[in-house]
Amino acid sequence: MPFAPATALLAPLAPWFDARRRPMPWRAGDLDAPHPDPYAVLVSEIMLQQTQVATVIPYFTRWMERFPDAEALAAATEDEVHGLWAGLGYYRRARNLQAAARAIAGAGFPRTLEGLLELPGLGPYTAAAVAAQAFQLPTPALDGNAFRVAARVLALEGDPRRHAAALRDWLAPALAAHGPSRLTQAVMELGATVCTPVPRCASCPLLGACAARARGLQERIPPVQPRAKVTEAEIHLAAIRSPRGWLLCPPASRGLLAGLWSWPRAEAAPELEGAAEAASGYGLEARELPGWVQVYSHRRETVRPIVARMASAPGAQGLEWVPGERLPELPMGRRDQKLRAALDAPGTPLTGAGLAALRTILDEGVSANPRS
Ligand code: SF4
């Protein structure tokens, strides 16, 4: 079925965006010219993958102060990169961004969609979004927001991703007509603020043109995807100090948490027989801090933090004693940063289960870490 032409349908979006757009530090003032800093557009788009604008803004600002261009990022150490990204999650994005910066520092910023697609970490959406905003190329960028807006305006039933190629062909002339950067950002902005999963049609500039709204289908398009199952876990997270420093898990070289240091941990388990005696054998003084629930995309972790001091510094398989003065600069994920910030907080005497967790960590080392 041919779609009604996007150029006319989406025309009200351009003046709406010009009047209503939210200020963001990466947005250019002139929406009709190429962006003065394509690197800033690239950084913002990678940070915005799976992360909300309000969370990204302070990270973006700090990042641009420390790495103002691709050359500065290309020359940074992995620890510096992870340190500035720490807390933003999905750390592979930071590694990809640095790999992209190294490619750009060597060969220049690619100015075509094909060239952008060759940069590490840029899929079809990000490459198209950068091409449109940085270089004014009419390359449709379809993310969840854009698919939702397009599916509703056209009353497309079923999963709109099945129509990705047709929707790109449909959108491209509208981008060319209304300005690629302007219309790309306008669609994103509408999807983020008005045409949200529960749409606010009364405030929508496309109210008169929207086929889903005309047929009363706006709440059913697109169909809600079933959520991935969330697993629950309860862990002890232990900050153990000895005269040799803090006991830490060194960063993995691959995987989601590559490049990040973490505290050793053990799954919460019933009290182990003899744990208290073993603790006194190590000369342990320990307290339990108030816990919290750490939420990840597919996991909810109840964290029971422990701070312990030991008179001796036994070896623990796969763990390292790190001198105290290095602790503040180590890149860590959000959960581990939270314990690092609370090391001096008051706590309560450790229970038998906490002592059992410490003993498991000291006996088993890194292999006590629960899988996450
Ligand atoms: S009228 Fe409603 S459903 Fe249609 S685009 Fe606007 S907010 Fe979305």
Q: Are residues 43 and 130 both part of a single domain?
A: yes
Q: Are residues 236 and 194 both part of a single domain?
A: no
Q: Are residues 246 and 161 both part of a single domain?
A: no
Q: Could you report the per-residue pLDDT of 159-180, keeping only the tens digit for each?
A: 999 999 999 999 999 999 999 9
The answer as to whether 141 is a domain residue is yes
- Coil/strand/helix, residue 230: coil
**178 CB near ligand 1 (under 6 Å):** no
The three-point CA angle 103-58-87 to 5° equals 75
The amino acid at 35: H
Q: Which of 45, 189, 288, 301 is catalytic?
A: 45
Distance 205 CA to ligand 1 centre (A): 8
Nearest to 269 by CA among 160, 352, 152: 352
Q: How confident is the model at residue 135 (pLDDT cuts 50, 70, 90)?
A: very high
Angstrom distances, CA of residue 22 to CA of 73, 76, 189, 341 = 28, 32, 8, 33
DSSP string for 68-134? -SHHHHHHS-HHHHHHHHTTS--THHHHHHHHHHHHHHHH----SHHHHHTSTT--HHHHHHHHHHH
Q: Which residue out of 16, 20, 195 has the highest number of ligand 1 atoms within 8 Å of its CB and is therefore the one to mutate?
A: 195
The half-sphere exposure of 39 on its side-chain side, counting CA atoms within 13 A, is 20
The three-point CA angle 38-41-46 to 5° equals 130
Is 80 exceeded by the pLDDT of residue 234? yes
Q: Look up the domain containing 69 and give its range.
A: 6-214
Instruction: Compute the distance between CA of residue 93 and CA of residue 197 in angstroms, rounded to an integer.
Output: 26
180 and 17 Cβ atoms separated by less than 8 Å: no
Q: Which residue out of 13, 149, 220 has the highest number of ligand 1 atoms within 8 Å of its CB and is therefore the one to mutate?
A: 149
The answer as to whether 225 is a domain residue is no
329 is catalytic: no
Q: Are residues 52 and 190 both part of a single domain?
A: yes
Distance 206 CA to ligand 1 centre (A): 6
Q: Could you report the per-residue pLDDT of 254-288, keeping only the tens digit for each?
A: 776 778 899 999 987 766 566 566 666 667 789 99
* Radius of gyration, CA atoms only, the chain: 25
Distance 154 CA to ligand 1 centre (A): 10
The answer as to whether 287 is a domain residue is yes
Q: How confident is the model at residue 39 (pLDDT cuts 50, 70, 90)?
A: very high
Q: Which residue out of 207, 215, 219 has the highest number of ligand 1 atoms within 8 Å of its CB and is therefore the one to mutate?
A: 207
Q: Are residues 239 and 117 both part of a single domain?
A: no
Which residue owns the Cα nearest ligand 1 atom 3? 218
The amino acid at 1: M
Distance 156 CA to ligand 1 centre (A): 13
% of the chain residues with pLDDT over 90: 72
Q: Are residues 143 and 260 both part of a single domain?
A: no
Distance 148 CA to ligand 1 centre (A): 9
299 membership: H or E segment, kind and range? strand 299-310
For the stretch 326-354, what's the b/e string if a residue is b when 16 or more beta carbons lie within 10 angstroms of its beta carbon?
ebeebbbbebbebbbebeeeeeeebeebb
Indicate the pairing of strand 292-295 with strand 299-310. Answer: antiparallel
